[in-house]
């Protein structure tokens, strides 16, 4: 029996407009959830991180209250995910009362057990990153992450007793060498652990845009608040049965730059609460343009709305998963997207559907002929569905798509090799049977492709399904997918090209 699958994206800092990197992480989570859901319960959480000084500053610069400022940005974020055909189960906002109450409950629980205590904080603080830095970590006296000026803070603060969990965390890293991937990030985090961990401040008194500390004394540090979303959303402290169903999370997707928060601080908070660490934290690579990490300054060059509009959301989803192994950085260009769209999707897959249905129309009036029975061809692909599912759930998307493409290629080759236009001209029964068998396998293969590619391209595969004359079942369990299930007599409905060619003119 499969455990319930739970996947999260980072909750996105709502300080500006989304870029293609946000679409990337969220699409990956969506593909995982859709694939897992074919064999059992799955839950996919995303959302927005809305507290902290950076949000308060941005709101005040815009002449709005922080809450109003966040409320005004939310449609842009939710609209992005809709534009990329993302179907999440829950969208948490850290300003929601359900989250705020649970975060306060965590604070009280840890204060009661001594893992949160009152102390004095003095140190360097980067406002932009909401991060404290040891003097030794500063670069030329500035924030090592963003290069901005840091401020000296001195105040009475509530601390989280991170140091207490260092040994347990080291043990956890050693006995679960795959719990942080890729390996480079695991090694980096191990090095930090070996240096030792210091308790850190989780209260702020210099501004008030955050969750109030129970009993007064400022607001809770935004990272402490934000990390908890992964458990507050699924019912920690309010719905124990639901929480036990989904926790620990199966996969938590993050960007490399927030690995320290998610693989050192987050599991320690969980340990303090008596909960388990997530099963896998995966730090994916960055999308780069000319080797540089994209960010706000790239503006419209990487506007994810414009890209989905131009190439189609499903083509973008395919590109993001197919172009580079998940985990490594990859260099993005519109030319590369256009190539994938025209070649893999248009020529290989789209033409396969168009040619197959056109021949079925011409030679068999669009009606699926009888299945040919046991065949070496069906045998060859019998294990494809389970292999692909395993690859996807192991975040090897590129490999999974390459394997699916072997079926695409094999079907195209059969058309070239068996020459249905020649078979159709000869009058003997053997040719007619061979043509039946070929046309059947083409339609059945396309049905399989629609099922296996559905998590990656949810909308275009529905169109394939419709053209194949099918109605329900595209999201069926892959472990019971059998060659030969396509019913004889199905009336296909050829339609428009799946992936119309896009002319790319380099500027
Ligand atoms: Zn910084």
**What SS3 state is found at 488?**
coil
CA of 125 to the centre of ligand 1 (A): 8
pLDDT of residue 17: 79
CATH topology of domain 333-480: Isoleucyl-tRNA Synthetase; Domain 1 (1.10.730)
Residue with tokens 């609209």: 79
pLDDT of residue 291: 64
pLDDT of residue 1: 46
CA of 131 to the centre of ligand 1 (A): 7
> What is the rounded distance in angstroms from the CA atom of residue 345 to the CA atom of residue 349?
5
pLDDT of residue 109: 98
Local mean pLDDT, 10-residue blocks, the chain (507 residues): 87 85 95 96 97 92 96 95 98 98 98 95 85 88 92 89 97 97 96 94 91 95 97 96 97 94 98 98 85 58 86 97 88 90 98 98 98 91 97 97 98 98 94 97 98 98 98 94 96 97 79
Note whether 346 and 483 are within 8 A (CB). no
Q: Residue 32's closest CA among 461, 449, 396, 446?
A: 396
Q: Residue 146's closest CA among 164, 162, 133?
A: 133
275-299 core/surface letters (b: 16 or more CB in 10 A; e: else): eebbbbbbbbbbbeeeeeebeeebe
In 162-214, at which residue ranges do the beta strands (DSSP E only) sit? Answer: 180-181, 200-201, 203-204
CA of 13 to the centre of ligand 1 (A): 14
> What is the rounded distance in angstroms from the CA atom of residue 30 to the CA atom of residue 44?
7
pLDDT of residue 292: 67
pLDDT of residue 505: 72
Cβ neighbours of residue 396 closer than 8 Å, sequence gap 6 or more: 325, 326
Which residues make beta-bridge pairs with 44?
A: 7
CA of 278 to the centre of ligand 1 (A): 27
Residue with tokens 């840091």: 150
Note whether 369 and 488 are within 8 A (CB). yes
CA of 160 to the centre of ligand 1 (A): 21
Residues 295-341 pLDDT 10s? 555 554 578 999 999 999 999 999 999 998 888 888 888 889 999 99
pLDDT of residue 2: 57
CA of 243 to the centre of ligand 1 (A): 34
> What is the rounded distance in angstroms from the CA atom of residue 52 to the CA atom of residue 129?
10
pLDDT of residue 329: 83
CA of 329 to the centre of ligand 1 (A): 22
Cβ neighbours of residue 137 closer than 8 Å, sequence gap 6 or more: 144
Q: Residue 46's closest CA among 347, 187, 204, 252?
A: 252
pLDDT of residue 299: 52
**What SS3 state is found at 19?**
coil
CA of 132 to the centre of ligand 1 (A): 9
> What is the rounded distance in angstroms from the CA atom of residue 318 to the CA atom of residue 352?
17
User: Peptide bond preceding 447: is omega within 30 degrees of 0, i.e. cis?
Assistant: no
Q: What's the predicted TM-score (pTM) here?
A: 0.92
Q: Residue 164's closest CA among 272, 50, 320, 325?
A: 272
């Amino acid at each position: 029996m499969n455990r319930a699958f739970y996947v999260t994206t980072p909750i996105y800092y709502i300080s500006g407009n989304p870029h293609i990197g946000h679409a990337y992480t969220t699409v990956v989570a969506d593909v995982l959830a859709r694939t897992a859901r074919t064999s059992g319960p799955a839950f996919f959480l995303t959302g927005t991180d809305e507290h902290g000084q950076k949000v308060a500053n941005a709101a005040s610069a815009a002449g709005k209250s922080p809450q109003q400022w966040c409320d005004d940005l939310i449609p842009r974020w939710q609209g992005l995910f809709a534009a990329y055909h993302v179907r999440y189960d829950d969208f948490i906002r850290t300003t929601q009362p359900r989250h705020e109450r649970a975060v306060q409950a965590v604070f009280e629980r840890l204060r009661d057990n001594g893992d949160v205590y009152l102390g004095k904080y003095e140190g360097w603080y980067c406002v932009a990153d909401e991060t404290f830095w040891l003097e030794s970590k500063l670069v030329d006296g500035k924030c090592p992450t963003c290069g901005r000026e840091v401020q000296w803070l001195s105040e009475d603060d509530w601390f989280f007793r991170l140091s207490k969990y260092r040994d347990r965390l080291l043990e956890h890293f050693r006995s679960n060498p795959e719990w942080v991937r890729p390996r480079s990030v695991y090694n980096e985090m191990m090095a930090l652990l070996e240096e030792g961990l210091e308790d850190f401040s989780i209260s702020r008194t210099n501004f008030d845009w955050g969750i109030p500390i129970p009993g007064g004394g400022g607001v809770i540090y935004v990272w402490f608040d934000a990390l908890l979303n992964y458990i507050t959303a699924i019912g920690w402290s309010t719905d124990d049965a639901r929480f036990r169903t989904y926790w620990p999370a199966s996969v938590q997707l993050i960007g490399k730059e927030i690995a320290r928060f998610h693989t050192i601080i987050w599991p320690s908070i969980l340990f303090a609460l008596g909960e388990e660490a997530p099963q896998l934290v995966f730090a994916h690579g960055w999308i780069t343009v000319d080797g540089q990490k994209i960010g706000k300054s790239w503006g419209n060059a990487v506007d994810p709305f414009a890209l989905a509009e131009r190439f189609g959301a499903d083509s973008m989803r395919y590109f993001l998963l197919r172009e580079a192994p998940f985990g490594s950085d990859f260099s993005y260009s519109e030319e590369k997207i256009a190539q994938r769209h025209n070649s893999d999707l248009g020529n290989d897959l789209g033409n396969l559907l168009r040619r197959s249905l056109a021949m079925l129309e011409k030679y068999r009036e669009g009606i699926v002929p009888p299945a040919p029975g046991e065949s070496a061809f069906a045998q060859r692909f019998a294990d494809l569905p389970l292999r692909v599912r395993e690859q996807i759930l192991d975040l090897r998307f590129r490999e999974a798509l390459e394997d699916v493409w072997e079926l695409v290629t094999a079907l195209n080759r059969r058309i070239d090799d068996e020459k249905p236009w020649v078979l159709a001209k000869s009058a003997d029964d053997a040719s007619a049977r061979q043509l039946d068998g070929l046309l059947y396998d083409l339609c059945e293969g396309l049905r399989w492709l629609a099922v296996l590619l559905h998590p990656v391209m949810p909308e275009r595969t529905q169109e394939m399904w419709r053209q194949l004359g099918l109605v329900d079942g595209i999201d069926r369990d892959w472990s019971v997918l059998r060659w030969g299930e396509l019913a004889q007599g199905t009336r296909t409905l050829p339609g428009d090209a799946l992936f119309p060619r896009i002319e790319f003119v380099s500027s």
